[in-house]
Amino acid sequence: MSAIRVNGRPSDVVPADDRGLLYGDGLFETVAFHHGRARLWALHMDRLMRGCAALDLPLPDSDRLLDDGRAVAEGRARCAVRITWTRGRGGRAYVPPDRPLPTSIVMQRPLPDDLDMQREAGIDLITVRTELPSGGPLGGLKHLNRLPQVLIGAQCRAAGVPEALVVDRDGCLVEALTGNLVIERDGRLIAPGPHPAAVDGVGLAWLRAAAGDALEQAGFRTDQLQPDDAIWVLNSVAGIRPVARLDGAARPTGRTLRAWQRRWAEDVEN
């Protein structure tokens, strides 16, 4: 099977005048497939549909996208499948067409070779202070305009770390580069935010449903971090990864991390 499907057919060709390429006019979801199944599919589709409503994009057929996802994931025990949904071609410069014909791009990519080690031993983060676009119609969406994240990624590469703790100009925690943040303090779970610049993460939605009242959501500043606070990075593909070091300083694992990693494996991957 082809690892890429465009508009439901094996292909790696997208028109040069597609609005997703020209203007970032579209949305994306990255979905984990395990043995041909995507347990968090409904949460991904819910976010994609909300994004389409916010951007006035036609709604995709989620069953057809799932068929494409299964097709590109075939033969792999686990992989990530990225779904890109653009407004397609047409319109006049920034002005969109009256009746858009969207483009769907579904492509497979392997999970990181060291993902299991990251979950066990943890990952290193640097703090990056930045001004991400926040609020408005793009708040919380997985839209295609990701240049701020690309610049953060370049800082991570220069520092030799895989992830960043992203904070705004006031020192409030926003998110990690590729996921939401969770603070574990004395066995309590705190999700910083909701911050208007943070993505409404599918992994965090799973944790919110699984943890119930055990997960608190509150604004959180960097100066509120205590030495004994554990920090997790959570996304729907990599799962729950503890932070081993932040800006070179060791962080604790947290007393409930392993239990929640087991719950994730049972609910999402097994």
Residue showing tokens 């769907």: 104
Question: What is the spatial distance between Cα 250 and Cα 71, in angstroms, rounded to a whole number?
Answer: 42
DSSP E strands in the chain: the ranges are 4-6, 9-10, 26-34, 78-86, 103-109, 123-129, 163-167, 173-176, 180-185, 188-192, 215-218, 230-235, 239-246, 249-250
Query: What pLDDT was estimated at residue 133?
Result: 73
Three-state SS letters, 144-212: CCCHHHHHHHHHHHHHCCCEEEEECCCCEEEEECCCEEEEEECCEEEEECCCCCCCCCHHHHHHHHHHH
Q: Is-cis flag, bond preceding 194, omega within 30? A: yes
User: If pLDDT is split at 50, 70 and 90, which confidence band does 81 have?
Assistant: very high
pLDDT, mean over the chain: 95
Average the pLDDT over 75-103 and give the result.
97
pLDDT band for position 43 (cuts 50, 70, 90): very high
Which pLDDT score is estimated for 2?
78
Helix (H, G, I), strand (E, B) or coil at 94: coil
130 — pLDDT class (breaks 50, 70, 90): confident
Cα dihedral 152→155→157→158 (10° resolution): 170
At residue 257, the 3 state secondary structure works out as helix
CB 33 within 8 A of CB 100: no
φ and ψ at residue 123, rounded to 5 degrees: -125, 160
Domains of the chain, CATH where assigned: 4-109 (3.30.470.10), 115-269 (3.20.10.10)
How far is residue 5 from each of residues 12, 32, 82, 142, 268, measured CA to CA in Å? Answer: 7, 17, 11, 20, 25
Confidence of residue 263 (pLDDT cuts 50, 70, 90): very high
Identify the CA nearest to 166 among candidates 207, 211, 130.
130
pLDDT given for residue 28 in this prediction: 98
pLDDT, tens digit, 9 for 90 and up, residues 177-224: 999 999 999 999 999 999 999 999 999 999 999 999 999 999 999 999
pLDDT at residue 134 is higher than 90: no
pLDDT at site 132: 77
> Is pLDDT above 90 for 102?
yes
pLDDT score recorded for residue 1: 59
Which of these, 91, 42, 80, 56, lies nearest to 202 by C-alpha position? 42
